[in-house]
Amino acid sequence: MKSMTANLTIEQEISNIFQYLTLYAGENMLVERENVKKGMSCKGAIAIKHRVIKQNADGEQTVDKVLVSRYAFYPSTYYPSRLGSVAIYGGNPVALCGQMRRSCTLFGHSIMSARVEYGRRPFLDVRFIP
């Protein structure tokens, strides 16, 4: 993915990331933007889901969406109009943490830190260099 400029708003960056994830989504994968509750510090969220096509007893096909991963985007504490971090839910956060530390970039941003945190479920907290 091309490096993103500092002049983009958080909303523009999330839109670019959404387009990137949609472009490279695998077969039977669905990329969805999610609404965030007003008053929360999260500025946007993107979910990647696996489409599972099933056939019921009547022969009708139904589609289930199984969450694979979710990205929640937060502003920088230094520059609130810029993207500062992303929380990544799903998969194996410990393995993903190692990958992030080796790559040193995510979505065109240089990574300052990547660590696994534990809340209601474990997630990877990736902080970008301001």
Q: In what order do the strands lie in the sheet with 29-34?
A: 29-34, 44-55, 61-75, 83-89, 122-128, 109-118, 105-106
Q: Which residues contact 6 (CB under 8 A, 6 or more apart)?
A: 82
The span from the CA of 109 to the CA of 8, in Å, is 12
Task: Tell me: pLDDT of 67 over 70.
Answer: yes
The pLDDT mean for the chain works out to 88
Q: Residue 81's closest CA among 15, 9, 16, 12?
A: 9
64 pLDDT band, cuts 50/70/90, is: confident
Predicted TM-score (pTM) of this structure:
0.85
Give the C-alpha separation, 61 to 39, whole Å: 39
- Any idea where the domains of the chain sit in the sequence? 10-128
Residue 6 — pLDDT band, cuts 50, 70, 90?
low
Backbone torsions φ then ψ of 112, nearest 5 degrees? -85, -40
Q: How far apart are CA 107 and CA 23, in angstroms?
A: 13
Question: Is the per-residue pLDDT at 69 higher than 60?
Answer: yes
